[in-house]
Amino acid sequence: MEGRGEIHPWQPTIAALEAEQQRLAAAPMPAWSLPRLAAGGLLPSIAASYVCFGRGGSGPGATGDTGWAGAAWFRAGRVAATAAAQAVATAAYDPGHLALREGPLHEAALRGLPGLPEILIVDATGRDHPRRAGLALHLGARLGVASVGVTNRLLVAAGEWPADTPGATAPFHLEGEIVGFWLRVRGGVRPLAVHAAWRTDPATALAIVRTCVEAQRTPEPLRTARRLAREARTRATAC
C-alpha cells in the first residue's frame, strides 16, 4: 500500500481537467495484480466511496449544490473504518467532467479513513470515458490505489447485457477495446457495469467485484459507503 501523500487541489476548469484526464489515460500504470485472497475468498483490504447530493430541485445538478460523501473500509469482509464528508459542489453535473463536481468530495471522505486500502471501488467509470480516464481511474491515481468503477449505466462504451442468469457476464467495448464487463448479480435485475480503472484491467476489475457481491446487487463496500453518504445528508438536512 502506498502512502497517503499530500492533498493537492483538483483541476479547477474543464480545460485543466481534460488535460489531466488525457495525461492519466496515457500514463504508464504500475503493475498490480489481485492479492492473495483471505479465507472465504475475501480481499484483505478494500474501500469504497459514494457521493450524493440534496434532494429536490430540478435538473441533473448545479454549481453550489451541497454534497455528501461516504467512505467504507473493509478488512477480510468486515467494516474496519468509515468516514464522511460534506462540501459544496464547484461545478454542475456533466458526465465527462464528473471529477470537477465530485472528485474533492470522494477524496475528502477517503482521506478521513485511518489508512488507504489495496483496492478502491468508486461509483463512477474508469476507461469508459471520452478521454479514457473517468473519475474511478482519476481518484485511484490521486490516491495511489488500484481502483475499479461500478455503475448502473455505460458512459460512452457499448455492449449487450449478459444472459439473465446470476453470475453471467458480457464485455463492453470502446473503439474496439474491452474496457469492462456487465455482471449479472441476480436474475431479473439490471446487471452492474464493472469498469477497469487505475492499475486494473477488465478481468481483474470483474474478479474484484465478484469477491464482494453477496445477496445484495451492489458490492457490499459500495453499498455501505452509499448508506453512510445518505445518512450524513439526513443528519445535515434534519437540523
Domain boundaries along the sequence of the chain:
44-238
Bigger pLDDT: 60 or 127? 127
Instruction: Give me the pLDDT at residue 40, please.
Output: 62
- On average, the pLDDT of the chain sits at 90
Give the distance from CA 131 to its chain's centroid.
Answer: 17
DSSP state of 87: E
Q: What is the pLDDT of residues 37-58, one digit of tens each?
A: 665 666 778 999 999 998 765 5
What's the confidence (pLDDT) of residue 238?
80
Check pLDDT > 70 for residue 210: yes
Going by pLDDT thresholds of 50, 70 and 90, the confidence category of residue 9 is: confident
Q: What is the mean pLDDT of residues 56-73?
A: 85
pLDDT higher at 236 or 57:
236
Q: How far apart are CA 32 and CA 168, in angstroms?
A: 25
Which stretch of DSSP H or E encloses residue 148?
strand 146-151
Question: Rg of the chain's alpha carbons, rounded to an integer?
Answer: 17
Q: Which residues contact 226 (CB under 8 A, 6 or more apart)?
A: 50, 52, 70, 123, 218
pLDDT band for 120, please (50, 70, 90 cuts). Answer: very high
Residue 121 pLDDT grade (very low, low, confident, very high; cuts 50, 70, 90): very high
Rounded average pLDDT over 3-14: 66
pLDDT at 6 over 50: no
> What is the pLDDT, as a whole number, of residue 215?
64
What CATH class is the domain 44-238?
alpha beta
Nearest CA to 116 out of 95, 88, 146 is that of 146
- Per DSSP, the three-state class of 121 is strand
Contact 131, 16 (CB under 8 A): no
pLDDT attached to residue 76: 82
C-alpha cell at 180: 469492462
- Average of pLDDT values for 231-239? 88
In the Cβ-directed half-sphere of 226, how many Cα atoms lie within 13 Å? 12
* pLDDT the model gives residue 1: 29
pLDDT tens, position by position, 77-88: 889 999 999 999
For residue 134, the one-letter residue type is: G
- In one letter, which amino acid is 182? W
pLDDT at 128 over 60: yes
pLDDT tens digit string along 139-174?
A: 999 999 999 999 999 999 999 999 999 999 999 999
